[in-house]
């Protein structure tokens, strides 16, 4: 870093160049050749940082900093952001699909490289001026740049500002998706499904169980476990897990508290209990009573009820086995009227 | 060492970037390769600035960076849109113009 | 004055064809009167012409310049000389008579007004043809009569045979018309004009080949219009038209236009002996051809058509003899116009009385029922066979003498042919006469069960027949007394006295002998024994003659088939060679495009490679330029 019209730089810079230059080339090759886009991006970021160091070494202090801030800081992060959006885990298949593309590409790149190198060799100067003097005119690199930018290049600078604004607006416009219709609620979706006739099948065993596992039995309306809901093989092997009694007890207690909170007759749990009892009487009397009278809408009231039942029985307790259909329907009727009141 | 070596390095990086543009199918990687080429060009500008003792080269590099930033914004927006509509970021999939 | 000659019938045609239905009642009289006006004008001009000395008789009238373009001058101009005058008198005279006849003949036809319109159109076109003072205007008239002929042959277009016949006549005439057109082209390229005066005056300056070419083309035209071999096939079928049309157009006037053309272009033929020989040959062949066909036909009109062909053959032969024959050709043309028109009108009268029956084998013994027709037809018959003292005798005898006078072997052959023709003429005409008016009555009820009641025709039909019979009898004698006709035409056609190798008296005697042989043969065959109603099978020649000597078969085999083969081969060449070249070029470009479009594979990366390659090339070129 000395004098005018030197023909060589300092040895330290040469060392730095050969060391970091190799890394930069490796980074560039990594960008091109690595299969995962994230790795490519990281390699590119490394190369850019090295380039920033080279800028600094060349006396372009302002650009060196800007390179780090804008490129590695903003642009590369934007790349990573989009990569996350698009899917970070996929690895690209590097097998070439276009016939001859790779050879042509290699030929073109190699030819271009040779030609450009030859051009540089032809235009190379034996000596160089160095940028120190130019930096010193205005007392440093940044003031020098500023001086030029706001006098000589001020129009270009302004136009660049406009360009950036346009780019920002354009990107917003491109990625913006406007919702032009009202979002359908869960209930509306359920009703539409019912009307269209595509009624989902009855829930599979275990769905209404306390635990979402095949080796745990579902609960009957009275809270007792039903062995039928568990795979016979597991039953035979004795691998059926107990629904622990204290959990049942805590559940009962929770229902009890809820009933008290809602008032003795008003709570759904109470009503459910009453319905259960009446059902048992009826089943004892007339066994031929069809278990499932309203095939449609089981799922619909199930989801709808989530809205006004207490948190304690929002999940499993509300999800009844098939036998509980009739009472559930009554409950849904009540709930519908309740909703009307709410409106 | 003569600063001309920076130019050779830039030429090498530029060539590698061009090669990447031609062989990669992932639009994002292609885009990164374009950025690599732009950076290589910037390096030559800076090196020339030093060799001639003139700050104009650095100004040029500065403008290249600004334009590249704008390009990245719009380009990535396009890639996102493309991905939304096709669920693919492959440049070969966007070949509706062929017969 | 001359223009009025043409204008009168043209006006008639325009009024009758464009006028509405309210002319139906009076239209035919309008047409007849306008034809009469034309005739009176012609007569006045004739008298006027007679008042001037022989070489100063031609009248010229320039109406206006039709197409004046640089060196190309087409004028509407008339020339009325002795030759034209003869034709004008014949056309308007016979034309008026036939108009009058048609008034009666077409009385019951719904489209009589249109018929008279066509007749007037024909008169106008024919007068234009003979009055034109240049070949182009003559061509206009030539096409005009062709059109009128087409319209009138096909007048009863509801009959498919009539429509076909009209089309046939039109198509065959086109061949001749093409010949005339080519002749006119040749004249223009050779002489720079097509007016009669300069062309004929300078005829001898042109090369022999050109003159022969023009002569042969003119002969082709004459063959087409005058039904000469090889373009004779249309005339027999043309008899599908109404009988007055056959009389006027296909016997007396239009078919003689060819003779007029040859006579008018005499200077060209005089300078082209080869063409003249061709004319003579055509005339001689047609003479015998028509006569033989006439012998075999049972249809009265077709028999007469064959006769017409044969008689025009006489005229063409005479015209081909050069200055020794032109005057006789025209003289025979005029007398023929009288007696053949009379014969056709007589035939029409017979058909009129016989429910339009045309088969002569179903006539017989009509002389008692149609005395006037019998007498007029008989006079015409005597005239055509050349009975001494009647007009045909003088004109035909003159032609036979001229044929002998041609000299050398040619003269002997031609003389023999004309004598043979005279015998055959006598034979077939006697046959017609005997079959129609003599013998037992053989008519039968037609298919509707109507027994024909032969009766004499109305006055409008009888009067023209009588007038024409009068002409048939006396015209010949009138023309030949003091060589009146020859002297009359001499300034136009020039004349040389032929010198036959044997005496004139001997030739006349021979002619009469041949005539008697012909009549005797016919009497032996048809007068002595009863005539079968259904024609016997006959000999090979008879059967061929009934089929017009296989002319249609010849045309079909040679022209139609040949044309089809030519067309097919041309189509083949067109498909394989021309289309092959065109399609091949298209396919080559298509294939090339197909290969080149692979470059446009839609992949941005391929395009990018091209771009980088291009950039590399640019850099390379730049460096090279710097290095150099």
A198 in a structural domain = no
Residue C79, strand partner residues: C60
Q: Which two tokens stand for residue A270?
A: 């109470």
B44 in a structural domain = yes
Residue C145: predicted pLDDT: 94
In order along chain C (628 residues), what is the average pLDDT of each group of 10 residues? 88 88 86 92 91 82 84 86 92 92 87 91 94 92 94 92 92 93 92 88 88 93 91 89 90 91 92 92 92 90 92 93 90 92 91 84 85 91 90 90 87 91 93 88 75 82 90 87 85 83 87 91 86 79 79 84 92 91 93 85 85 89 84
Q: State the ipTM, two decimals.
A: 0.92
Shared-domain flag, residues A260 and A151 = no
Q: Which domain holds residue A7?
A: 1-89+132-158
Closest CA to C179 of C226, C128, C125, C147: C226
B30 in a structural domain = yes
Q: Does C171 touch chain A (CB under 8 A)?
A: no
Residue that the structure tokens 């044929």 belong to: C403
Residue C488: predicted pLDDT: 87
B98 in a structural domain = no
Q: What is the pTM for the complete model shown?
A: 0.60
Q: Does C616 touch chain A (CB under 8 A)?
A: yes
DSSP C323: G
Residue A276: predicted pLDDT: 61
Q: How far apart are CA A120 and CA B47, in angstroms?
A: 12
Whichever domain contains B37, its CATH number is 1.10.287.3510
Residue A226, strand partner residues: A218
| Chain C interface, best mutation among A32, A114, A115, by max C CB count within 10 A | A115
Q: Does A154 touch chain C (CB under 8 A)?
A: no
A267 in a structural domain = yes
Residue C251: predicted pLDDT: 87
Number of domains in chain A: 2
Which of A40, A63, A106 lies nearest to residue B58, judging by beta carbons? A63
Q: Which residues of C touch B14 (CB under 8 A)?
A: none
Number of domains in chain B: 1
A329 in a structural domain = yes
A163 in a structural domain = no
How near does any CA of chain A get to the CA of B31, in Å? 9
Residue A174: predicted pLDDT: 85
Q: How far apart are CA C561 and CA C567, in angstroms?
A: 10
Q: How far apart are CA B42 and CA A48, in angstroms?
A: 11
Shared-domain flag, residues A140 and A261 = no
Residue A46: predicted pLDDT: 94
B28 in a structural domain = yes
pLDDT at A244 over 90: no
Shared-domain flag, residues A293 and A150 = no
pLDDT band, very low/low/confident/very high, at A337 (cuts 50, 70, 90)? very low
pLDDT band, very low/low/confident/very high, at B2 (cuts 50, 70, 90)? confident
Shared-domain flag, residues A78 and A149 = yes
Cβ contact B91–C609 (<8 Å): no
Which of A98, A105, A115 lies nearest to residue C623, judging by beta carbons? A115
pLDDT at A313 over 60: no
Q: Which domain holds residue B25?
A: 4-86
Opening angle at CA B22, ends B20 and B28, nearest 5: 60
B79 in a structural domain = yes
Distance of CA C388 to the CA centre of its chain: 29
B97 in a structural domain = no
The string of DSSP codes covering A131-164 is SHHHHHHTTSHHHHHHHHHHTTTHHHHHHHHHHH
Cβ contact C619–A98 (<8 Å): no
Residue A202: predicted pLDDT: 62
Whichever domain contains A36, its CATH number is 1.20.120.1200
B48 in a structural domain = yes
Shared-domain flag, residues A230 and A313 = yes
Distances (CA, A) of A106 to A112, B39, C60, C206, C448: 10, 21, 97, 84, 102
pLDDT band, very low/low/confident/very high, at A296 (cuts 50, 70, 90)? very low
Q: What pLDDT, in 10s, does the model give residues A128-175?
A: 888 888 888 888 889 999 998 999 899 999 999 999 999 999 988 888
Range of lowest pLDDT (A79-88, A323-332, C348-357): A323-332
Cβ contact A32–B59 (<8 Å): no
pLDDT at A303 over 80: no
| Chain A interface, best mutation among C605, C616, C623, C627, by max A CB count within 10 A | C616
B31 in a structural domain = yes
Shared-domain flag, residues A265 and A144 = no
Residue C583: predicted pLDDT: 92
Greater pLDDT, A267 or C385: C385
Residue A271: predicted pLDDT: 56
pLDDT band, very low/low/confident/very high, at A268 (cuts 50, 70, 90)? low
Residue A340: predicted pLDDT: 43
Residue C454: predicted pLDDT: 83
Residue C278: predicted pLDDT: 93
Q: Are C206 and C187 in contact (CB under 8 A)?
A: no
Q: How far apart are CA C316 and CA C378, in angstroms?
A: 26
Residue C282's contacts (CB-CB under 8 Å, 6 or more residues apart) are C219, C223, C228, C229, C313, C316, C320
Distances (CA, A) of A249 to A255, A258, C296, C607: 10, 14, 136, 73
pLDDT band, very low/low/confident/very high, at A326 (cuts 50, 70, 90)? very low
pLDDT at A203 over 60: no
Q: Beta strand pairing status for C72-80 and A225-226?
A: unpaired
Q: Beta strand pairing status for C72-80 and C59-69?
A: antiparallel
| Percentage of chain A modeled with pLDDT above 90 | 21
């Amino acid at each position: 870093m000395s004098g005018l019209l030197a023909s060589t730089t300092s040895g330290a810079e040469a060392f730095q160049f050969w060391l970091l230059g190799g890394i930069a080339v490796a980074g560039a090759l990594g960008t091109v050749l690595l299969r995962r886009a994230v790795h490519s991006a990281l390699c590119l970021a490394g190369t850019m940082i090295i380039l920033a160091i080279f800028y600094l070494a060349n006396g372009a202090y302002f650009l060196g900093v800007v390179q780090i801030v804008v490129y590695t800081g903003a642009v590369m992060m934007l790349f990573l952001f989009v990569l996350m959006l698009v899917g970070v885990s996929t690895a690209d298949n590097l097998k070439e699909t276009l016939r001859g593309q790779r050879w042509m590409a290699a030929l073109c790149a190699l030819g271009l490289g040779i030609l450009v190198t030859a051009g540089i060799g032809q235009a190379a100067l034996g000596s160089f001026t160095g940028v120190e003097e130019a930096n010193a005119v205005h007392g440093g690199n940044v003031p020098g740049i500023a001086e030029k930018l706001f006098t000589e290049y001020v129009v270009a600078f302004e136009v660049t500002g406009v360009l950036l604004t346009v780019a920002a607006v354009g990107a917003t416009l491109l990625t913006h998706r406007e919702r032009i219709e009202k979002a359908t609620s869960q209930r509306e979706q359920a009703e539409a499904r019912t009307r269209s006739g595509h009624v989902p099948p009855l829930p599979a065993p275990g769905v209404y169980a306390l635990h979402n596992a095949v080796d745990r039995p579902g609960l009957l309306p009275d809270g007792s476990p039903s062995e039928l809901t568990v795979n016979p093989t597991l039953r035979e092997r004795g691998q059926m897990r107990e629904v622990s009694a204290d959990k049942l007890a805590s559940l009962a207690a929770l229902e009890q508290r809820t009933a008290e909170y809602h008032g003795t007759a008003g709570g759904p749990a109470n009503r459910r209990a009453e319905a259960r009892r009446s059902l048992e009487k009826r089943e004892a009397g007339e066994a031929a009573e069809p278990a499932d009278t309203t095939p449609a809408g089981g799922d619909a009231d199930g989801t709808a009820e989530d809205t006004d039942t207490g948190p304690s029985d929002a999940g499993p307790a509300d999800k009844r086995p098939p036998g509980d259909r009739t009472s559930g329907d009554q409950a849904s009727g009540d709930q519908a009227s309740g909703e009307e009141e709410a409106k | 060492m003569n600063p001309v070596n920076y130019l050779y390095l830039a030429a090498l990086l530029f060539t590698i970037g061009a090669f990447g543009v031609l062989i990669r199918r992932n639009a994002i990687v292609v885009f990164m390769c374009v950025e690599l080429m732009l950076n290589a060009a910037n390096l030559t500008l800076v090196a020339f600035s030093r060799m001639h003792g003139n700050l104009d080269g650095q100004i040029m590099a500065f403008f290249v960076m600004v334009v590249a930033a704008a390009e990245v914004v719009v380009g990535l927006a396009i890639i996102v849109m493309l991905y939304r509509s096709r669920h693919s970021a492959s440049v070969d999939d966007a070949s509706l113009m062929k017969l | 004055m001359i223009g009025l000659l043409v204008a009168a019938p043209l006006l008639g045609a325009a009024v009758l064809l464009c006028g509405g239905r309210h002319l139906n009642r009076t239209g035919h009289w309008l047409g007849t009167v306008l034809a009469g006006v034309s005739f009176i004008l012609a007569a006045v001009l004739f008298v006027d012409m007679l008042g001037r000395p022989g070489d100063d008789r031609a009248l010229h009238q320039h109406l206006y310049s039709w197409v004046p373009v640089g060196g190309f001058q087409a004028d509407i101009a008339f020339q009325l000389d002795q030759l034209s005058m003869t034709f004008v008198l014949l056309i308007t005279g016979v034309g008026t008579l036939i108009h009058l006849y048609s008034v009666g003949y077409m009385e019951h036809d719904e489209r009589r007004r249109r018929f008279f319109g066509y007749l007037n159109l024909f008169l106008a076109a024919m007068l234009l043809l003979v009055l034109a003072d240049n070949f182009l205007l003559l061509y206009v008239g030539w096409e005009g009569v062709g059109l009128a002929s087409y319209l009138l042959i096909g007048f009863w277009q509801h009959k498919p045979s009539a429509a076909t016949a009209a089309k046939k006549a039109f198509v065959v005439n086109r061949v001749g018309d093409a010949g005339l057109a080519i002749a006119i082209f040749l004249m223009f390229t050779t002489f720079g004009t097509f007016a009669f005066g300069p062309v004929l005056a300078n005829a001898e300056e042109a090369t022999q080949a050109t003159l022969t070419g023009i002569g042969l083309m003119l002969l082709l035209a004459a063959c087409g219009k005058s039904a000469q071999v090889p373009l004779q096939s249309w005339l027999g079928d043309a008899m599908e038209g109404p009988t007055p049309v056959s009389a006027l157009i296909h016997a007396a006037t239009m078919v003689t236009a060819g003779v007029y053309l040859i006579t008018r272009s005499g200077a060209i033929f005089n300078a082209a002996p080869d063409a003249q020989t061709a004319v003579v040959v055509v005339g001689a062949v047609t003479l015998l051809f028509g006569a033989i066909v006439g012998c075999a036909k049972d249809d009265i009109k077709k028999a007469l058509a064959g006769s017409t062909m044969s008689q025009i053959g006489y005229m063409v032969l005479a015209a081909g003899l050069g200055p020794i024959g032109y005057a006789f050709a025209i003289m025979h043309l005029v007398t023929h116009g009288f007696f053949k028109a009379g014969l056709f009108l007589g035939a029409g009268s017979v058909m009129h009385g016989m429910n339009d029956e045309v088969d002569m084998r179903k006539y017989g013994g009509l002389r008692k029922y149609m005395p006037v027709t019998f007498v007029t037809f008989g006079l015409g018959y005597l005239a055509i066979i050349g009975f001494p003292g009647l007009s045909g005798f003088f004109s035909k005898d003159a032609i036979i003498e001229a044929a002998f006078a041609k000299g050398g072997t040619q003269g002997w052959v031609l003389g023999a042919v004309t004598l043979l023709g005279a015998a055959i003429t006598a034979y077939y005409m006697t046959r017609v006469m005997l079959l129609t008016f003599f013998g037992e009555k053989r008519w039968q009820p037609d298919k509707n069960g109507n027994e024909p009641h032969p009766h004499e025709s109305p006055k409008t039909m009888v009067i023209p027949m009588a007038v024409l019979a009068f002409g048939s009898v006396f015209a010949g004698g009138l023309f030949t007394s003091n060589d009146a006709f020859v002297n009359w035409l001499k300034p136009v056609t020039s004349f040389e006295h032929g010198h036959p190798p044997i005496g004139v008296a001997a030739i006349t005697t021979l002619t009469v002998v041949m005539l008697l042989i012909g009549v005797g043969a016919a009497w032996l065959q048809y007068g002595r024994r009863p005539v079968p109603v259904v024609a016997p099978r006959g000999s090979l020649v008879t059967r061929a003659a009934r089929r017009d000597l296989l002319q249609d078969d010849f045309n079909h085999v040679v022209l139609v088939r040949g044309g089809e083969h030519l067309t097919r081969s041309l189509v083949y060449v067109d498909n394989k060679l021309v289309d092959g070249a065109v399609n091949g070029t298209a396919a080559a470009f298509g294939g090339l495009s197909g290969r080149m479009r692979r470059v446009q594979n839609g992949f941005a990366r391929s395009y990018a490679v091209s771009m980088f390659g291009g950039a590399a090339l640019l850099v390379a070129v730049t460096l090279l330029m710097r290095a150099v």
